[in-house]
Amino acid sequence: MKVVIQRVSAAEVSVDSEIVGKINNGLLLLVGITHSDDEAVIKTIADKIVNLRIFEDDAEKMNLSLLDVKGEILSVSQFTLYADCKKGRRPAFTDAARPEYATELYNKFNDILKSYDIKVETGMFGAMMDVKLTNKGPVTIILDSNELIK
């Protein structure tokens, strides 16, 4: 699993010019699922995300988590995080999980995030989406389950 985390003051995702998910202060997550991901992986990543101390405290130090600031999440599926660009000029996506499997895990991942009593908005899995965001900081962090879980 790969997740690009962006701390935002606002973010929204649209499909066919219609907003399907919108948040204010919180995190935009671009979420990629691979073949070897399972429920244990998504639970570990979800827990890491909601507890990452990447929001500023009163001393302007990144010392607070999403839970501490009562932030929101916009979760957007992004199979292109598994692009393989080693050969040629056209990326291969063979490391991305098949849509049926990825959809199931992506939905479970979002349900786990919601279980922390967090507002979670989503895009539409498999749709062509437009994502708008105001990155606050900017703060962008990449989580890769291959680096976190061994």
Which comes out higher in pLDDT, residue 136 or 150?
A: 136
CB of 23 closer than 8 Å to CB of 135:
no
Q: Which of 80, 103, 122, 140 is catalytic?
A: 80
Residue ranges with strand state E in the chain? 2-15, 18-23, 26-32, 55-56, 62-64, 72-77, 120-122, 130-144
Write down all domains in the chain, each with its CATH number in brackets: 2-145 (3.50.80.10)
Which comes out higher in pLDDT, residue 149 or 67?
A: 67
140 is catalytic: no
DSSP type of residue 42:
H
- Model pTM? 0.95
Q: What is the SS3 assignment for 33? A: coil
Region 128-139: mean pLDDT is 96
CA dist 139 → 7, 39, 105 (Å): 5, 27, 26
Region 2-28: mean pLDDT is 98
Q: For 149, what's the count of Cα atoms within 13 Å in the CB-facing half-sphere?
A: 18
Nearest C-alpha neighbor of 118 from the set 76, 72, 74, 68? 72
pLDDT of 24-74, one tens digit each? 999 999 999 999 999 999 999 999 999 999 999 999 999 999 999 999 999
Per-residue pLDDT at 148: 82
CB of 126 closer than 8 Å to CB of 77:
yes
pLDDT of 87-133, one tens digit each? 999 999 999 999 999 999 999 999 999 999 999 999 999 899 999 99
